[in-house]
Amino acid sequence: MHLPGVMTDPITPANLESTAHVVQVALSPVFLLSGIATLLNVFGARLARVADQAEHVSGLLAGAGDAERVRLGARLDRLHRRSLALDAAVFLAALGGVATCGAVLTLFVGALRDATVATLLFGLFGAAILCTLCALVAFGFEMLLASRTVRDRVSERRARAGIPAES
């Protein structure tokens, strides 16, 4: 006897595996978006720091002598390069987020239309990964610029204080 509305299909390993796959597919973009959001937060904080430093250096230019102006100008140039690297990182991470959202939308549209959209899904998810990777490279470049600036400042302060440079 079959009662309407009562599920009579037993849970089989195949059904369980299929359900687990659907959950995995649905969660992957969520984790990627969470990671991208965290990256954007880090990039934004670093960009704010660069902007604050540029503001400070620009304020020092007004009362600086010629030699100091050259040094401050070089520092502003480094800050400008850092801001460009961070701009690229932010743009690429945001583009990775957009591609991830596009991949999720493709999953839903594919499920609703019951159509094969694997090529589009693969392209969007691949674009999300590629953009995120490029954002990390741009961020790494900015970090190298920042660490070089720190080393230069330490060397400069040591020289002003008459402390010999470390080998």
State the SS3 of 121-136: HHHHHHHHHHHHHHHH
Q: Answer with the residue of higher pLDDT: 63 or 159.
A: 63
Give 3-state DSSP helix, strand, coil % of the chain, rounded to 5: 85, 0, 15
pLDDT-derived band at 38, boundaries 50, 70, 90: very high
Name the one residue in this structure whose structure tokens are 């060397």: 155
Residue 81 belongs to some domain of the structure: yes
What pLDDT sits at residue 32? 84
CA 10 centroid distance within chain: 45
Residue 144 belongs to some domain of the structure: yes
What distance in Å separates the CA atoms of residue 133 and residue 65, rounded to the nearest whole number?
Answer: 43
pLDDT-derived band at 57, boundaries 50, 70, 90: confident
pLDDT above 70: residue 78: yes
Whole-prediction pTM: 0.65
pLDDT-derived band at 42, boundaries 50, 70, 90: very high
How many structural domains are present in the chain? 1
Residue 57 belongs to some domain of the structure: yes
List the Cα angle 88/135/22 in 5-degree steps: 135
Containing domain of residue 49, as a range? 29-154
pLDDT above 80: residue 15: no
What distance in Å separates the CA atoms of residue 16 and residue 95, rounded to the nearest whole number?
Answer: 35
CA 118 centroid distance within chain: 26
Q: How far is CA 70 from each of CA 60, 73, 114, 146, 152, rounded to the nearest angstrom? A: 12, 5, 65, 19, 15
Structure tokens at 123: 């392209």
What pLDDT sits at residue 157? 65
State mean pLDDT over 83-97.
Answer: 88
State mean pLDDT over 82-106.
Answer: 85
Mean pLDDT of the chain: 77
pLDDT-derived band at 109, boundaries 50, 70, 90: low
What pLDDT sits at residue 54? 85
